[in-house]
Amino acid sequence: MREPEIVVVGAGIAGLTAAFCLQQAGKKLVVLEGAGRSGGRVHSFSGNAPKSVRFDVGPTWVWPRWQPHVQRWLGDLSVRPFAQFETGDAILDGFGPQVTRQPLPGQDGIARLSGGPTSIVEAIEQRLEPGTVRLDSEVVAIETKENDLRVHLRDGAVARCATAILATPLRIAVERIRIEALDPRLSGVMLQTPTWMAQHAKAVILFKTPFWRDRGLSGRVASRIGPLVEIHDHSPENAELGALFGFVGWPAKDRQQDPETLEAEIRRQLVRCFGADAARVERVILHDWALEPLICSQADIAKPPEHPDVGPDLLRQGHLDDRLWFAVSETSDVSPGLIEGALVAGQTAAQRILSKR
């Protein structure tokens, strides 16, 4: 492998952002991604819809009005936000003997992205030098050798570099990458940092039309009985077809043991909440992030889901004599776990590396 100056491990938004900022500063680098696609926890797909229409099985929302870093990056990358559809009543499911409808407070400034959050990934990749991102290149070890690092891949290849950036979930880095001479105090902080949404599953349900809108419904459901504990309108901006998405409330073990029953129960819930028209489902897509070995760690599976707090500055400092840095959404001191956090984490790591040189 040609020797770069910097190796970025992970091609999610944070890793790609760090790579872009460093390349803009003239650094030679490579991004090594263990999966067969870029994006990490960001994943949008078209299904049978027109190619311009995408549905998100990873994160969906940003809040440009309240997230200045998101607003700036979207402008720089020419990615267009549009308002989340929230007009109409919501459905309350399991809050009483019958399904009821009533207004629920909206989320001020909540927005989706044209092309989904994958459009951020694609926009940054298009600005990187060709060949920067290498897929199916899982890193398994990082060793120190005098004044440089040796980054070992699962296929036996080794990359020599002056600096490495770990842009993977922190718990995954501890469990799957052997890092020589890493401070045990740092390892402990990494293991304590939850990977946001790693053990969740998300369902996207497609219809020919967003029929609920004609009934004065927003498509939003709050449920105490599930299997989807939250449902939201996920139709394209022009409403050329209908889509809902929901977060699955079943534990990972239950949903993985019987996915057919899970889908059947989702279909029943939709009819219960939206009526007979909801039986005319075009397609149900289930994506279980707990099955992604490069996203969901054993520590994530073993503990209840929780949103990460802003972690100590130890996560944003250089290690191994400033040769090793971290850049993942959970290391950000702004919006940890969210898309904005990923953008800030990548930019922060790049700026700190450049300030040391």
pLDDT at 330: 98
Mean pLDDT of 93-108: 94
Count of other CB atoms within 10 angstroms of residue 320: 18
Q: Which CATH architecture has domain 83-114+199-291?
A: Alpha-Beta Complex (3.90)
pLDDT at 147: 84
| Domains 1-42+117-196+293-357 and 83-114+199-291 equal at CATH topology level | no
* Backbone angle region of 182, left / alpha / beta, with phi > 0 → left and psi within -120 to 50 → alpha: beta
pLDDT at 2: 61
213-237 pLDDT, tens digit each: 999 999 999 999 999 999 999 999 9
- Alpha-carbon torsion 183, 189, 190, 191, what sign? positive
CA separation, residue 261 to residues 84, 292, 326, 355 (Å): 30, 21, 40, 54
Fold of the domain spanning 1-42+117-196+293-357 = FAD/NAD(P)-binding domain (3.50.50)
Task: Kindly list the domain boundaries of the chain, sorted by start residue.
Answer: 1-42+117-196+293-357, 83-114+199-291
Q: Assess whether pLDDT exceeds 70 at residue 48.
A: no
From CA 337, how far away is CA 3, in angstroms rounded? 32
DSSP string, 4-36: -SEEEE--BHHHHHHHHHHHHTT--EEEE-SSS
* For helices 118-127 and 68-77, angle between their N-to-C axes, nearest 10 degrees: 60
From CA 56, how far away is CA 26, in angstroms rounded? 34
From CA 87, how far away is CA 90, in angstroms rounded? 9
Count of other CB atoms within 10 angstroms of residue 134: 15
pLDDT at 51: 58
From CA 54, how far away is CA 227, in angstroms rounded? 24
Q: Assess whether pLDDT exceeds 60 at residue 1.
A: no
Mean pLDDT of 34-46: 94
| End-to-end CA gap in the chain | 24
Residue 254, Cβ density class (10 Å: 0-12 exposed, 13-18 middle, ≥19 buried): middle
Residue 306, Cβ density class (10 Å: 0-12 exposed, 13-18 middle, ≥19 buried): exposed
Identity of the residue numbered 164? A
275-330 pLDDT, tens digit each: 999 999 999 999 999 999 999 999 999 988 889 999 999 999 999 999 999 999 99
What is the residue whose two structure tokens read 């700036």?
72
- Residue 232's DSSP bridge partners are 245
Cβ–Cβ under 8 Å, residues 325 and 319: yes
Confidence (pTM)? 0.96
pLDDT at 357: 67
Cα atoms in the 13 Å half-sphere on the side-chain side of 287: 21
Helical spans, DSSP H, in the chain: 13-24, 68-77, 118-127, 170-176, 184-192, 211-214, 252-257, 259-274, 298-302, 339-355
